[in-house]
């Protein structure tokens, strides 16, 4: 049975603002444009678990989504508004809301992802048929992937010339402030209960500890940005490589849900210190996010298929037991294990460690990069589709502008270089806390008396190394050489 149409005076017909990966009020062009029409505004978020084109969220990201929607609802209430929650195919839900409210139009941020663009186009055709407005606005990225092309008019496949082209193109506009007030409709349509969406884990509640590390929502995002810019950005170019130093922005989960716009971060970095090497390095890291979306926009099949065609023939092998050990931080290589436990405990992993654990999975353990992609998708709070895909293709050597397959990160030497005193390892592997700095990076090679004194029993209190680094490196290089022979 169709829902009854709300009684609305013609002059008070509402405008619908469709919130997507933009869960904020500041620098929100669709919201500001809807308010500018003079019509009441109905904000809506749709939990579309049906349409195949919609980007999905993993388990950890669902937890964040719940918190972020809760904070967005509070922010809207402070502006005199509400957040309507609905589930179902996005176009069907919006069609139903249009009919129910006699809306004048729909306003939303445009997605650069091909599947979601299909939904936008379907919505645009519906609005045209109903003779109402369908207004799309840029805002997901700094630069539109369709506008950044080579001299020959093709998409970029290498980061450095891509980023050079971005920096010489029209620069991002200045972000706009949040509205002072949002006009409400005469009557509010029904909204679903967020708790009934069951986005948060219950039995067991493995996400309970996340609140110790994170403050989801726009206010938390703006605070995190200010802390990073004022305290860490100047030294970002050096400190970002050391996991025991709080030298990164930790803004990636906030960015994934659009709690802060990337334009805001861009302009804040210039306002802080335009000439700072740290600020320039940080903007370049934002550029890698742009490049990931650029690749996914132009080559949407890279979510599952290797960017480099030759790797379709690669013989991935690996052991499910090794995969489980990697997931649980039980490989016998402390930096790998500490990183994987950081991921489970906090929902996040330091960027350099993502490269190291990724290299270990695909090269030393010979497991398909899909295994790592899927685990990160479920456990990362910032499991952004473009970044996660491009990151795994990069580390596996299968992607555009990727690290060559024969580049293999040694977790022991990386640990000795970037966690010299073992502070990061001791934080997440307390069972190794009493080992001397000299041996904490590779307990398997520590003398028996040193292990005994530290209370470490390999195979009991801490696992023995599950593979030999030298041997598996040689096997990986051999597999790559065989692939070259096949594809030449």
Last residue of a domain, one of 264, 298, 332: 298
**pLDDT at residue 1 in the model:** 43
| Residue 358 and residue 334 in one domain | yes
Q: Which of 64, 214, 266, 392 is catalytic?
A: 392
Q: Which of 188, 288, 299, 344 is catalytic?
A: 288
The alpha carbon dihedral of 204, 205, 209, 214 has a sign of: positive
Q: How far is CA 127 from the centre of its chain?
A: 31
Question: Band of the pLDDT at 114, cuts 50, 70, 90?
Answer: confident
| Residue 478 and residue 353 in one domain | yes
Q: What is the pLDDT of residues 370-407, one digit of tens each?
A: 999 999 999 999 999 999 999 999 999 999 987 777 78
**pLDDT at residue 319 in the model:** 94
Q: What is the pLDDT of residues 175-230, one digit of tens each?
A: 999 999 999 999 999 999 999 999 999 888 999 999 999 999 999 999 999 999 99
> At what angle are helices 218-231 and 59-78 packed, to 10 degrees?
100
| Residue 431 and residue 318 in one domain | yes
How far apart are alpha carbons 403 and 393 in whole angstroms?
9
Q: Flag whether 106 is in a domain.
A: yes
Last residue of a domain, one of 256, 273, 298: 298
Q: Flag whether 146 is in a domain.
A: yes
| Residue 322 and residue 424 in one domain | yes
188 catalytically annotated: no
392 catalytically annotated: yes
Q: Flag whether 350 is in a domain.
A: yes
CATH of the domain at 145: 1.25.40.80
326 catalytically annotated: no
How far apart are alpha carbons 441 and 417 in whole angstroms?
10
Q: Flag whether 373 is in a domain.
A: yes
| Residue 354 and residue 372 in one domain | yes
Q: Flag whether 188 is in a domain.
A: no
Q: Which of 12, 144, 239, 351 is catalytic?
A: 351
**pLDDT at residue 2 in the model:** 52
Q: Flag whether 187 is in a domain.
A: no
CATH of the domain at 454: 1.10.579.10
**pLDDT at residue 10 in the model:** 65
Site of tokens 């849900």: 257
| Residue 261 and residue 119 in one domain | no
In this prediction, what percent of the chain has a pLDDT beyond 90? 89
How far apart are alpha carbons 75 and 260 in whole angstroms?
14
Last residue of a domain, one of 239, 268, 298: 298
| Residue 331 and residue 426 in one domain | yes
Q: What secondary structure does DSSP assign to 296-350, as a single string?
A: HHH-GGGGTS-SSGGGGG------HHHHHHHHHT-SS-HHHHHHHHHHHHHS---
Q: Which of 53, 192, 285, 431 is catalytic?
A: 285
**pLDDT at residue 6 in the model:** 66
Quick check: 459 pLDDT over 70? yes
By mean pLDDT, which of 8-22, 179-193, 285-299 is the weakest? Answer: 8-22
Q: Tell me the average pLDDT across 55-70.
A: 96
Q: Flag whether 200 is in a domain.
A: no
369 catalytically annotated: yes
How far apart are alpha carbons 261 and 314 in whole angstroms?
39
Quick check: 9 pLDDT over 80? no
| Residue 118 and residue 84 in one domain | yes
Q: What secondary structure does DSSP assign to 182-247, as a single string?
A: -PPPSSPPP---GGGG--S--SS-TTGGGGGT---SHHHHHHHHHHHHHHTGGGHHHHTT-TTS--
- Phi and psi angles of residue 462, each rounded to the nearest 5 degrees, phi first: -150, 140
Q: Which of 369, 375, 388, 410 is catalytic?
A: 369
In this prediction, what percent of the chain has a pLDDT beyond 70? 97
The alpha carbon dihedral of 382, 383, 385, 390 has a sign of: positive
Q: What is the pLDDT of residues 294-348, one digit of tens each?
A: 999 999 999 999 999 999 989 898 899 999 999 999 999 999 999 999 999 999 9
CATH of the domain at 30: 3.40.50.620
Domain containing 232 equals 141-172+217-298
**Which residues contact residue 13 at a Cβ distance below 8 angstroms, ignoring those fewer than 6 apart?**
39, 40, 101, 102, 103, 104
- Structure tokens, 327: 């997931």
Q: What is the pLDDT of residues 153-167, one digit of tens each?
A: 999 999 999 999 999
316 catalytically annotated: yes
User: Contact 148/169 with Cβ under 8 angstroms?
Assistant: yes
| Residue 153 and residue 114 in one domain | no
Q: What is the pLDDT of residues 232-282, one digit of tens each?
A: 999 999 999 999 999 999 999 999 999 999 999 999 998 876 568 999 999
Q: Three-class SS of residue 479? A: helix
Q: Flag whether 421 is in a domain.
A: yes
**pLDDT at residue 483 in the model:** 86
**pLDDT at residue 487 in the model:** 74
| Residue 133 and residue 148 in one domain | no
**Which residues contact residue 470 at a Cβ distance below 8 angstroms, ignoring those fewer than 6 apart?**
none
Q: ∠395-278-216 over CA atoms, to 5°?
A: 70
| Residue 288 and residue 378 in one domain | no
Domain count, the chain: 3
285 catalytically annotated: yes
| Residue 273 and residue 292 in one domain | yes
Q: What is the pLDDT of residues 460-478, one digit of tens each?
A: 999 999 999 999 999 999 9
């Amino acid at each position: 049975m169709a829902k009854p149409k709300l009684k609305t005076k013609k002059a008070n017909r509402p405008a619908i603002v469709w919130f997507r990966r933009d869960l904020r009020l500041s620098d929100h062009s669709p919201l500001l444009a809807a308010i500018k029409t003079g019509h009441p505004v109905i904000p809506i978020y749709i939990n579309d678990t049906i349409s195949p084109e919609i980007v999905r969220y993993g388990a950890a990201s669902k937890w964040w989504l719940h918190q972020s929607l809760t904070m967005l609802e509070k922010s809207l209430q402070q502006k005199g508004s509400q957040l309507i929650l609905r589930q179902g195919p996005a176009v069907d839900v919006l069609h139903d809301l249009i009919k129910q409210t006699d809306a004048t139009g729909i306003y939303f941020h445009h997605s650069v992802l091909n599947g979601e663009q299909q939904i936008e186009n379907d919505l645009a055709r519906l609005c045209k048929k109903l003779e109402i407005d369908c207004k799309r606005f840029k805002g997901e990225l700094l630069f539109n992937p369709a506008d950044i092309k080579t001299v020959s008019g093709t998409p970029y496949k290498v980061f450095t010339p891509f980023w050079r082209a971005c920096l010489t193109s029209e620069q991002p506009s200045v972000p706009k402030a949040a509205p002072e007030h949002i006009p409400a409709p005469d009557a509010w349509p029904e909204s679903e209960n967020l708790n009934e969406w069951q986005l948060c884990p219950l039995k067991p509640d493995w996400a309970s500890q996340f609140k110790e590390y994170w403050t989801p929502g726009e206010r938390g995002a703006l605070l995190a940005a200010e802390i990073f810019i004022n305290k860490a950005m100047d030294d970002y170019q050096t400190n970002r490589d050391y996991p025991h130093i709080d030298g990164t922005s930790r803004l990636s989960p906030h960015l994934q849900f659009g709690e802060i716009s990337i334009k805001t971060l861009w302009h804040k970095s210039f306002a802080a210190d335009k000439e700072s090497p740290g600020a320039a390095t940080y903007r370049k890291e934002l550029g890698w996010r742009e490049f990931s979306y650029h690749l996914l926009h132009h080559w949407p099949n890279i979510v599952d298929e290797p960017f480099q065609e030759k790797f379709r023939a690669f013989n991935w092998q690996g052991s499910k037991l090794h995969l489980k050990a990697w997931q649980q931080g039980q490989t016998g290589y402390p930096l790998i294990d500490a990183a994987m436990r950081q991921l489970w405990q906090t929902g996040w992993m330091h960027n350099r460690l993502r490269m190291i654990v990724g290299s270990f999975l695909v090269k030393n353990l010979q497991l398909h990069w899909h295994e790592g992609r899927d685990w990160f998708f479920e456990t990362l709070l910032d499991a952004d589709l473009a970044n996660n895909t491009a990151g795994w293709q990069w580390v596996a050597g299968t992607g555009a502008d990727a690290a060559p397959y024969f580049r293999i990160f040694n977790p022991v030497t990386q640990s000795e270089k970037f966690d010299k005193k073992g502070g990061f390892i001791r934080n997440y592997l307390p069972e190794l806390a009493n080992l001397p700095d000299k041996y904490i990076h590779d307990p398997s090679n520590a003398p028996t008396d040193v292990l005994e004194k530290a209370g470490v029993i390999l195979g009991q209190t801490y696992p023995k190394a599950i593979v030999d680094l030298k041997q598996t490196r040689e096997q990986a290089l051999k597999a790559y050489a065989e692939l070259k022979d096949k594809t030449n």
